[in-house]
Amino acid sequence: MDSRRTDCLTKPLSRLFENLGSKVGSYPLYFFIVPVLLSAALSGGFIFLQERQDNGLERQFTPSKGPSKATRAFVKENFPYNYSMFSEDRQYDKGSFASLIAVARNSRNLLDTLVLEDIISLNNKILDITVDNGRLGFNELCARANGECVSNIILEILSYSLTNQTSITYPVHIHKATPLFLDDQESTAEASKLWLREFKKLLSDNTDNKHIYVSYYTSKSKQDEIDSHTTDGFPLFLIAYACAVTVSVISCLRLDNVRNKMWVAVFGILSAVLAVLSGFGLLLYIGVPFVITVANAVFLLLGIGLNNMFIMVSDWQHTHVNDPVSKRMAHTYKEAIMPITITAVTDVLKFFIGVKSYFPSVQAFCLYTSASIIFCYIYTITFFGAFLALNGRREGSNRHWLTCKRIPSDRPKNRSELYSICCVGGDFDKSTGAEKMHTVSYFFKDYYGPFLIKPWVKGMIIFFFAAYLAVSIYGCLHVQQGFELHDLAADDSLVNTYNRKDRHYFYDYGPSVMVIISEPFPYWDETKRHELQACIEDFKGLHIVDRDIFSSWLDSYLLYGHANNLTLNDKDAFLKHLPQFFELFPFYQQDVNITGDVIHASRVFIQMVDIDSGSRELYALKALRSTSADCRAASLLVYNQKFIFFDQYDVVVSSTIKNVGVITAVMFIVSLLLIPNPVCSFLVTCSIGSVTVGVTGFMALWDISLDSISMIIFTVCIGFTVDFSAHVSYAFVSSKKTDPNAKAVDALTHLGFPILQGGLSTILGVSVLSVSKFNTFRTFFKIFFLVMFIGMVHGLVFIPVILSIFTCRSEKEASKDNTVKVTKL
């Protein structure tokens, strides 16, 4: 036995598939009807679609065990809200608020009288909003400090400026400008939600502002925007499937009226549709959340279904047309189902492992996708196989593809040429007994394949492969990280409009950050206090921090002690005078957690600056956490409620690497078991790494950032590389040819056209996403295009050349060698 062969599973599985194909060919109606009935039953789960939708931004798109969530829990426990002393900086959640940005028209000064009048008039309208039959307005629902509403100080200054000259400095002018915050207590939560709804209605209907452009935003805007567009992608899905059907039908058209495979193409697409209905419906029945990212799985299933269809049709066309349908189906299943099984098994295992992701949105996506892939595989070998058999019976009786009436195989002498075009069919290759090959297959056999195996062409391809890797690696070194939550909304949404103006006009100042001393600390010990203050100075020294905007209860307390000639370097004195200090400065009392004579935790505040992009957010978070970790005086934490979303940066890269590693390992194991040659299995695995590097590199060159959304899409699409590599490698290894170059040509002859059909039809199908107003779908198109294009290049160019160089031998060749050895003995 050839020690290099690993066909312990291949042979029994091939026999199993051969028997299954025979059964499908003999009893096609059973295999056709049962999947239809099952899909009809499971599709009932879609009645729960609205109920199962869950696009909670924090819940779905942040790491479930992110460090900032742990820090928030610490803040909530040690620094609970004091609703009577509202402070924006001291919030551990975003709260309820409404905000607007006013920009003067025609580049006028915002302080011009007419512009100011518009702003003040709009502000008055906002303050006059009431809910609950006019009983509750802003004054009743506002967040309060010292018994009064926390107002927007900038608007107060502008109101004053209508009649008085004043100068404004930003961002500090007595107080920092704030949105209109509402009371966030449970007793007023519903009324606050209604007020925000009325605020949105007022701003969207307001047309009285002749001198200003207004963009508005509320604490509910992002969530409302995403929730309202969860199913907006369905029209694109319909267009994508229509394009795929059109391209598939065109590629399956034949001039022969019997051999025409148009209906086969239609039912191949329908098989993928049934898989989506069954997989999604089943999980909706069970209660799995439906996240907006799950919609991308529809396009994945489209690609898988098309590839499966074209592979099966290709192998069907290589069977003898005069054989019984059951025998033709047995041969088709024996040759086609094995590579389809390889891709299905690897895809399902990959997505089941993805359920362990840090991101709940990824977990939901992987569940829906893996379930749908299982159904896609089942329906391919039952529903689609059954229709292929029924179509085979039509061909066997020489019936017309449209009318199903028997037609002659040769044109009668008394009939015109037009009759021959419309009403004659059933021709085949008399030398092989199989259907005539498609023109494109002839191209691969007679022109492309022989050209590819020329020594100088192989040398050029190896050179281009090295250049491809070099460019890809260069791109990998320049991958950017960054996640903008507004990317989940439509380009023309209010969220994006507001965000663009906010970044344009106010990017200089980012969020205020808590620096938390998270353990008991002797603040009265002058030496240790100086060490702690040195750590705080390190934060101020960061160039993403404004050292002049700083709030510290400890520094203020020390100034208070100095002004009152108090000695605060003694524990008893330090603790004794704290209550008096807090009476004068009640806000600072929220920054100290003290019980008896122990200060369990405290916090100070620094101001981030120049945070104008996701990459800057990543840099800032790393810098702040690194600085806190370097402090030896005390255990420090840093927190702002936005850090909950920044946490993804810590896990996106590691998750992507882990996912790719899992895909690669799973692919190697499965291909080792199912492709009867370990060298070929290894090369298939290497091709996944090559495509991964290429896609990652060109993502960077195409300005695609690596975030939780692109990570999902990237991981999904990389699975497609398995299809091209596995199909070509399996065809190469199974070829009856003995010369490696001939084996490469034979593999391309059989699979070149199906790969081209599947790749191009899928790319054209998803190309509709390139014009989507959602960045999520455009990103999917870009990554999907890269994967499909680079995967096709590997399958049709790199893999055949490399396999021919490594001279993998087929099972037939190995058997001949063994026979020779036995004869010699």
Could you tell me the pLDDT band of residue 175, with boundaries at 50, 70 and 90?
very low
In a domain, 753, yes or no: yes
Of the candidates 171, 188, 180, 195, the residue with the CA atom closest to the CA atom of residue 149: 180
Residue with token string 């089942």: 378
User: Residue type at 787?
Assistant: V
Q: What is the distance between the alpha carbons of residues 496 and 494, in angstroms, rounded to a whole number? A: 5
Classify each residue of 131-162 as buried b or exposed e, where b means 16 or more C-beta atoms within 10 Å of its C-beta: beeeebbbebbbbbbeeebbbbebbebbeebe
633 and 706 share a domain? Answer: no
Residues 728 and 787 in one domain: yes
| Ramachandran quadrant class, 434 (left: phi over 0; alpha: psi -120 to 50; beta: rest) | beta
- Shared-domain flag, residues 276 and 393: yes
> pLDDT class for 23, splitting at 50, 70, 90?
very high
- Within-domain flag for 64: no
**What's the confidence (pLDDT) of residue 312?**
93
pLDDT of residue 598: 93
Per residue in 450-508, pLDDT (tens digit) is 999 999 999 999 999 999 999 999 998 887 766 565 566 677 777 888 888 887 787 77
**pLDDT at residue number 116:** 82
How far is the CA of 387 from the CAs of 26, 271, 316, 325, 435, in angstroms? 12, 10, 12, 12, 18
Q: How far is residue 449's CA from residue 750's CA, in Å, rounded to a whole number?
A: 11
What's the pTM?
A: 0.81
Contact (Cβ atoms closer than 8 angstroms) between residue 732 and residue 702: no
Q: Rounded mean pLDDT of 24-47?
A: 96
DSSP H/E element including 443: helix 439-443
**Cβ neighbours of 532 (radius 10 Å):** 23
Q: In 133-290, which ranges are continuous DSSP H helix? A: 138-141, 153-161, 189-205, 221-228, 234-252, 262-286
Say whether pLDDT at 372 is over 80: yes
Q: Measured between alpha carbons, how far is 423 from 561 in angstroms, rounded to an integer?
A: 104
Give per-residue pLDDT as tens, 208-261.
778 888 888 888 887 777 776 655 666 777 787 788 778 888 888 888 899 999
Count Cβ atoms below 10 Å from residue 170 Cβ, excluding itself. Answer: 11
For residues 43 and 17, membership in a common domain is answered with yes
Residue 270 and residue 213 share a domain: no
Specify if 149 maps to a domain.
Answer: yes
Beta bridge partners of 214: 102
Encoding tokens for residue 446? 């007679």
447 and 405 together in one domain = no
- Sign of torsion over alpha carbons 462, 468, 469, 474: positive
Domain termination residue (choose one: 218, 243, 272): 218
- Nearest partner of 651 among 294, 346, 295, 360, judged by Cα: 360
Question: Is there a single domain that holds both residue 468 and residue 425?
Answer: no
* 791 within domain boundaries: yes
Which pLDDT does position 155 carry in this prediction?
Answer: 65
Say what the pLDDT of residue 64 is.
Answer: 84
Q: Domain of 370?
A: 1-51+253-433
Task: Round the CA-based radius of gyration of the chain to a whole number and report it.
Answer: 34
Assigned domain for 41 exists: yes
Q: Please, is 84 exposed, middle or buried when counting C-beta atoms within 10 Å of its C-beta (0-12, 13-18, 19+)?
A: exposed
Q: Which of 500, 378, 438 is nearest to 751 (CA)?
A: 438
Q: What is the pLDDT of residue 203?
A: 87
Of 545, 538, 552, residue with least CA distance to 628: 538
- 463 within some domain: yes
Does one domain contain both 280 and 312? yes
Number of domains in the chain: 4
Q: What percent of the chain has pLDDT over 70?
A: 90
H or E element in which residue 511 lies = strand 509-517
pLDDT greater than 60 at residue 324: yes
**Within-domain flag for 234:** no
Q: Identify the weakest region by mean pLDDT among 132-141, 687-696, 815-824.
A: 815-824
Q: How confident is the model at residue 229, as a pLDDT?
A: 60
User: What is the torsion angle, in degrees rounded to the nearest 10, for the CA atoms of residue 311, residue 313, residue 314 and residue 318?
Assistant: 140
Residues 679, 641 share a domain: no
Q: Is residue 114 domain-shared with residue 189, that is, in the same domain? A: yes
Give the model's confidence band at 810: pLDDT under 50 very low, under 70 low, under 90 confident, else very high.
very low
Q: Are 550 and 669 in contact (CB under 8 A)?
A: no
CATH at residue 801: 1.20.1640.10
Domain final residue, candidates 629, 647, 665: 647
Do residues 604 and 458 both lie within one domain? no
pLDDT of residue 129: 92
Whether residues 395 and 352 share a domain: the answer is yes
Q: Do 195 and 96 contact (CB within 8 A), yes or no?
A: no
The Cα 150–Cα 182 span in angstroms is 9
Give tens-digit pLDDT for 107-120: 777 778 888 888 88
Q: What is the pLDDT of residue 176?
A: 39
Own/partner pairs for 435-440, CB < 8 Å, 24+ apart? 435/259, 435/317, 435/318, 435/321, 436/256, 436/259, 437/317, 437/749, 438/254, 438/317, 438/753, 440/752, 440/753, 440/756
The amino acid at residue 816 is K
What is the rounded distance in angstroms from the CA atom of residue 450 to the CA atom of residue 402?
38
pLDDT, position 812: 44
Contact 541, 547 (CB under 8 A): yes
The pLDDT, as a whole number, for residue 316 is: 95
Q: Measuring CA to CA, which residue among 349, 348, 354 is closest to residue 366?
A: 354
Contact 222, 60 (CB under 8 A): no
Q: How far, CA to CA in Å, does 609 sit from each of 153, 509, 511, 535, 619?
A: 21, 4, 8, 19, 12
Residue 453 forms part of a structural domain = yes
Residue 772 gets which letter from DSSP? -
Burial (0-12, 13-18, 19+ Cβ within 10 Å), 556: middle
Closest CA to 363 of 66, 68, 67, 60: 60
Average pLDDT over residues 783-801: 89
